[in-house]
Chains A and B, each alone.
Chain A
Amino acid sequence: MNSFAGKILHVDLGSGKTAILSVPEEVYQAVLSGKGLEAWYLYNHIPAGADPLGPDNILAFACGALCGTGAFLTGRWTVACKSPLTGGWGDANCGGLFAPAVKQCGFDAIFFSGIAEKPVYLFCDGKTVELRDASKYWGMDAVETEKVLHEDLDPLCRKKPCIACIGPAGEKLSLIAGISNEGGRMAARSGVGAVMGSKRLKAVVLAGALPMRCADPDKVKTISKELGRKLLKMTLPSGLGVFIGFGGRMMGHLPYMPMDGSLTAYMFREWGTPANTPLAITSGDGPLKNWAGTPQDVRRMDVAYNPEHINKIETAKYHCYSCPLGCGGKLNIRGRKYVEFDETHKPEYETIEAFGPLLMNWSLDSIFQLNELLNRAGMDSISAGNTVAWAIECFENGILTKEQTDGLELKWGNTEAILKLVEKMIDREGFGDAVADGVKRASELFGGREYAMHIGGQEPGMHDARNDPQLGVHFVAEPAPGKHTVGMGIEYGAMSLSDICSWAPPAKLHPKKDDLEDTETLAWITKANACYTMLTDGAGGCYYGQMMGVHMWKLVEYLNAAEGWDYDGDHYMEIGERIQTLRQLFNIKQGIDPASVKLPKRMLGEPPLPSGPLKGVTLDKNRAQVSSHWRAFGWDGKTGVPLDETIERLGINRLTEVDAV
């Protein structure tokens, strides 16, 4: 007995029909569950040329292979579809409690096709599968939707439901909308919320209580207990946050940076991801002033965004399902300037950086308000921040006028104007409506394309490729371009993949500039990054588990114990390779030309920055590195199309011939 539920649910929202289908064992062997299962199903079932907001697109919700086995850091759920932002593969993932809820309903994944005539939500409790009228909830924000659904349904359910839903951004088809659970925690990227909105699917409500299986639960527990006991002892003294910015300054001036995976655990237990913000501001990792600024432009901002300020108002930490780390937190924000809410989630560093240093905004309080606004609306803070940054730079340079911005003075650091613009984007009102579909569409409407930071249509996460050439490869070569979660130099150093994979180059120290690593070596590093991340996604794992390194978060041992298998790391990395190749094939099928996806000039160092840790850096080798990365995968080095022999080697032909029944 392995950990897979063995079944998927397909809901046709057009006809209202549902089908419970069995997945052949060979599919799980080949791609696990989670993003792998989604890649297999969507590649097979979304027709070429499908309209991302039309009935042919399929929206998938999946939990990972390890979810429910007792393995730690395996509570991520992944949404996937054809992205309306990029026209190719789209996915986003999130923590909370939704992942086990999928499996407790008896499924590894739930797929939605078609478009409902009126707003609906899916209710499933492991016995009943029903589409129900959601008119009452349409128009509510994500937090309110969950609250009212709980009020309506909890008394009727034996087990408290878990709910994923969209807010107004998804309903209004903003192409940067995400899908929320647990009070506004979001699977944010790729425009997945717009696809859900286009299907008039307001929510997915899961209240199943079926047992979740595992081949060797005692072995899994032994691995988990070792990690849990270690983490309980990992505590930093309070007050060290003020030194993080200084640490970043040191990193910015050193050619190499040593990193150990355990540092991730210490930092995230102490501060959560906001620990990254001051480090990013001073080291060159985080973008400043729409990716054109230097630390001199935001002097002392690392102090303004010291995570100790956030710790002071944290009322309690919280953990995702199966997480012993607990990087989340609830903040008491009542009565703070700009704030109209009592409470918000601890903002992720992505949100802080996208609305702080990226916009030259010094107000941490305003970030709390923006965080809650965006969480409730179900709008991606990375894409929204990049879009506002573009608007400000256009305004500062006369491309946008006050008449066009509805009177908003979009100046760097104008907190009030930033808040107002975000509200207008959420409401799709006036100028906000025009820019609510992300920076690519906005720049096509108004100009200022040189200020529009997107990669293949998607806004990049808050890490600068000039600081990390590996990231520059992933930003471009990833089938969902612009995502920062596939691999970075700093992570590769921490993960120690060469200890589980025979072909992964040993991590020396973190290479900061692209002339510190030859292109061929870099290609195998970036391939290892991508394969391991896809494996993690198939397992339903958390990237912060990855970052702790393979000696703390033992993914290979977990999978063998949970599935009753006895495979080595190379076998599992090939599963990751297969998932990534399927996603690339999805893009080829949908008409994406991988060679046309490029870094924005600004991120290539054109022109180079005049000062700071990235002074003079250019990414001249990025194209060659991407080409080498493709070749390492067995894809054509010029076109990025997977070669026939690679498809054969990975058994993808056979995989595309089988179907769920």
Chain B
Amino acid sequence: MRRIPVFDYLNCVSCSICAQACPVSALGMKKEGKSGKYRNVFPELVNDRCIGCSSCLRACPMDVIIMKEVDGD
């Protein structure tokens, strides 16, 4: 089992603080979506680089990240 971040995009403000806090660049502002009526970009776990350190969770000012356990190393 390993832990990865999961995002509540409805309350995300796209500030990229989580992505920059990630020590291994496993998060990128790549996910396209909408914030209300505005087209915007959101954090996305771009690859399997995540080390489950929770740096993103601790950094997020909006508290829109939870860590979820998933299968795998």
Instruction: Please report A residues at the B interface, Cβ cutoff 8 Å.
Output: 70-72, 97, 100-101, 104, 157-160, 209, 211-212, 217, 220-221, 224-225, 228-229, 231-232, 235, 238, 269, 314-324, 326
Contact = CB atoms under 8 A, between A and B. Distances in A.
30 contacts: A70-B59, A72-B15, A97-B16, A97-B20, A158-B24, A159-B22, A159-B24, A209-B23, A221-B61, A221-B63, A224-B62, A225-B61, A225-B62, A232-B11, A235-B38, A315-B39, A316-B41, A317-B14, A317-B39, A317-B41, A318-B29, A318-B41, A319-B29, A321-B15, A322-B15, A322-B17, A324-B15, A326-B35, A326-B38, A326-B40
Interface string B1-37: 0000000000101111100111111000100100111
Interface string B48-66: 0000000100110111000
A319 B38 CA distance: 13
Contacts of B59: 70
B34 to A, nearest CB: 10
Contact of B14 (A71, A158, A217, A326): A326
A427 to B, nearest CB: 34
Contacts of A231: 13
A324 B22 CA distance: 18
Interface of B: 11, 13-17, 20-25, 29, 32, 35-41, 55, 58-59, 61-63
A217 B61 CA distance: 9
A70 B65 CA distance: 14
Contacts of B40: 316-317, 326
B35 A232 contact: yes
Contacts of B11: 228-229, 232
Nearest to A228: B13
Contacts, number: 85
B62 A322 contact: no
Given A159-B22, A231-B13, A321-B20, 18 more contacts: A70-B17, A70-B59, A71-B61, A72-B61, A97-B16, A101-B20, A104-B20, A158-B24, A158-B25, A314-B39, A316-B32, A318-B14, A319-B13, A322-B15, A322-B16, A322-B17, A324-B13, A326-B38
Contacts of A71: 61
A224 to B, nearest CB: 4
Contacts of B16: 97, 319-322
Nearest to B39: A316
A158 B23 contact: yes
A228 B17 CA distance: 13
Q: Which of B11, B21, B61 counts the most chain A CB atoms within 10 A? A: B61
A225 B23 contact: no
Contacts of A229: 11, 62
A118 to B, nearest CB: 30
Contacts of B17: 70, 321-322
B27 to A, nearest CB: 10
A317 B61 contact: no
Nearest to A234: B36
Contact of B61 (A70, A157, A235): A70
Nearest to A160: B25
A176 B55 CA distance: 40
Nearest to B13: A324
Nearest to A324: B13
B62 A319 contact: no
B13 A238 contact: no
Q: Which of B32, B38, B55 counts the most chain A CB atoms within 10 A? A: B38
A149 B20 CA distance: 19
B63 A232 contact: no
Q: Which of A100, A157, A158, A228 counts the most chain B CB atoms within 10 A? A: A228
A315 B38 CA distance: 10
A361 B63 CA distance: 47
| Closest 7 pairs (CB-CB, A-B) | A324-B13, A224-B61, A209-B23, A160-B25, A228-B13, A70-B61, A100-B20
Given A221-B61, A228-B61, A319 B15 contact: yes
Contacts of B63: 221, 225
Contacts of A160: 25
Contacts of A320: 16
Contacts of B20: 97, 100-101, 104, 321
A100 B24 CA distance: 15
B38 A317 contact: yes
B11 to A, nearest CB: 7
A180 B14 CA distance: 22
Nearest to B23: A209
Nearest to B51: A158
A157 B22 CA distance: 13
Contacts of A321: 15-17, 20
A324 B25 contact: no
